[in-house]
Amino acid sequence: MKPALHPHEDDRLRELRRYGILDTDREREFDELVEIASEICEAPVSVINFIDQGRQWFKAEVGLGVRSTPLETSLCGHAILQGDYIEISDTLDDARMADNPLCTSDPGFRFYAGSVLKGANGLPLGTLCVLDHKPRALSEHQRKVLRVLSRHIMRQLDLRLALDQEQTLRREVDHRVKNSLASIGALLFMKARRETDAAVRHALEDAGSRVRSLSSLHAELHELGGQDLVSTKSLFMRVETDLRQLLPEGIELSIVVRDGGVGPELANSLVLIVNEFVSNSVKHAFGSGHGSIKVEIDAQPGRLALLCRDNGTAGAAEAERAAKGSGLGSRVIQSIASSMNIVPKWRASGDGMELSLDGPIPRPGR
């Protein structure tokens, strides 16, 4: 069944276009959010989508591989007509989707959950949704995280719009972003502490750690003023402090940085890589619960040398799996390294995992 138009469709489309988000490039901060949603909800597909005239367009996606699809087959086109949140345990039992080729094909989308993205005027613009190929249901904490992430998406868009409209509000806008990231990180860690399922707890802790790392980078960028470069030493002092607060008892962390300045994009990449390595080490390296993680960073104009290692139990098989990008963390690292034209090297021989990135990088501003 083709989705019906919203009762205030013209106003809704005007509001969507006011945000200027349609047909923009992919951005890591949105890609990170769909990765978090997919991991926490244990769903193979997660999408940030906006319902445009005749199509649905994807700002970010995991597991889909396209940027837009026709409105005729849109599941989210139905979702924006029904409140703030919709969950369909089995799409083939829902009259609106039972004849949808996206659901009836093999493998089709048999499960759908979406939190509606609303503009400042309250009209629905799209959804943050997760999909699965089997009927199922989300837990209460998964639903809550999906709602929180969807609100964060709209806060990001609202803040961008405010920045475009009034540059004099930049500092206030930056504070709001920082507070939003801190709030999401705190919520994720609060849910993790209360979660009894170990796998879900680890997923929540990973998500919270990523948000905290992004918050550290944001705080550093906020203090740049009119400068173009981020101090790697100052940035990773924040990151190390944040990560140490999250490490289990018995795990030590040391980050040594050669002082230098890098562009914001490279700074973001370094933060994400270090965060993923530390998270993976905490989850997989230390069977006894005791160990150490060491990071060395030398990011100078035109060249990067990054070395991460732990003294855990990883061997050659684990290093080979990491090099193939078998886990989410190693896939994130591979993707970031690829964007810098550097091949990450993984080594392990039974006494710990080592990751190194070494090579030329574009100079800031080029």
Residue range 254-285, pLDDT digits in tens: 999 988 888 877 888 888 888 889 888 888 88
Confidence of residue 300 (pLDDT cuts 50, 70, 90): confident
pLDDT of 226 reads: 46
pLDDT at 331 over 90: no
Pair of tokens at residue 58: 């994807």
pLDDT at 176 over 60: no
CA distance 28 to 336: 10
Max CA separation in the chain (angstroms): 63
pTM over 0.75: no
Identical fold, 9-138 and 166-360: no
Residues 32-41 have a mean pLDDT of 95
Tokens found for residue 166: 């009034």
Answer yes or no: are the C-beta atoms of 14 and 94 closer than 8 Å: no
Mean per-residue pLDDT of the chain: 85
Retrieve residue 227's tokens: 């400068």
Lowest mean pLDDT among 87-101, 143-157, 175-189, 222-236: 175-189
**What distance, in Å, lies between the first and last C-alpha atoms of the chain?**
50
| Architecture of the CATH domain 166-360 | 2-Layer Sandwich (3.30)
Lowest model confidence (mean pLDDT) among 4-18, 28-42, 105-119, 325-339: 325-339
Annotated domain spans of the chain: 9-138, 166-360
Fold topology of 9-138: Beta-Lactamase (3.30.450)
